[in-house]
Amino acid sequence: MAHFLAKWLQRLRPEDPRRMQAFRSKLEGLSWDKQNALKSLSVVFGAVDDLADAEVQYYYRRRGTRAWISGISRTGAWILGTIGLLLPLLAGTTEPMFKVWGQYGYVFLAGAGSCLAANSLFGGTQGHIGFVSTQLEIERIITSSRVGWCKYLAGPHDTDSHLGEGFTFILAYANALHAATLAETGRWGETLLAELANYQKSTQAKENASSRNK
């Protein structure tokens, strides 16, 4: 029961650093004599494979959050923007009620702009695209590595060089996995800093324009 609960919590929080502790524990006590070397290599591969699965779970969860932010902000921008465009047009009619509401068109347009700014600032649409792309890239690495490992297991393992090939293959798997995640982290950081800078410039420009109009 405790093991099941631990696995469930790990899937709920796949980015938890305890996954590295679990990885280390799996590598402890392995035997590397000729009779057990291949079995130990399979354990190492499985441990790296579990890390890859955790990354897939992480990006799958994160892409759902970003999709929600993107959907809410874009829907809000469309609704508020449509109202903001319609109100001045309706104000031109003979209906007195519309004449009163016509002056609030710019308010709704400003709200639409704020929704789009929130989408960019919190990485809604762009974050969703980035997380989906990274998840698919990691899945590609996993699929290729698992097939390659099956091919390796089907070959000979009677010499030290053959066993060395197994270590090389697993190391390449781990490096490809971390390269994919580091690349996404770098892109995410650059995008966030750029959007923060753009938002700051936009806010400063509006403050300056407001000061000049006073």
Domain assignment present for 68 = yes
Give the chain's mean pLDDT. 82
Dist CA 192 CA 186 (whole Å): 10
Domain of 106 in residue numbering reads as 45-206
Domain assignment present for 119 = yes
Overall domain count for the chain: 1
Residue 52: predicted pLDDT:
92
Domain assignment present for 153 = yes
Domain assignment present for 33 = no
Model pLDDT for residues 154-198, shown as the tens digit of each residue = 988 777 788 889 999 999 999 999 999 888 888 777 777 777 777
Give the CA-trace dihedral at 115, 117, 121, 126, to 10 degrees.
Answer: 80
Model pLDDT for residues 132-141, shown as the tens digit of each residue = 899 999 999 9
Dist CA 128 CA 115 (whole Å): 16
Dist CA 200 CA 195 (whole Å): 8
Domain assignment present for 27 = no
Q: When comparing pLDDT for 11 and 76, which is higher?
A: 76
User: Which of 16-20, 92-96, 201-205, 206-210 reaches the highest mean pLDDT?
Assistant: 16-20
Dist CA 47 CA 29 (whole Å): 14
Say how many residues make up the chain: 214
Domain assignment present for 37 = no
Domain assignment present for 103 = yes
Q: Residue 212's closest CA among 204, 133, 31?
A: 204
Domain assignment present for 15 = no
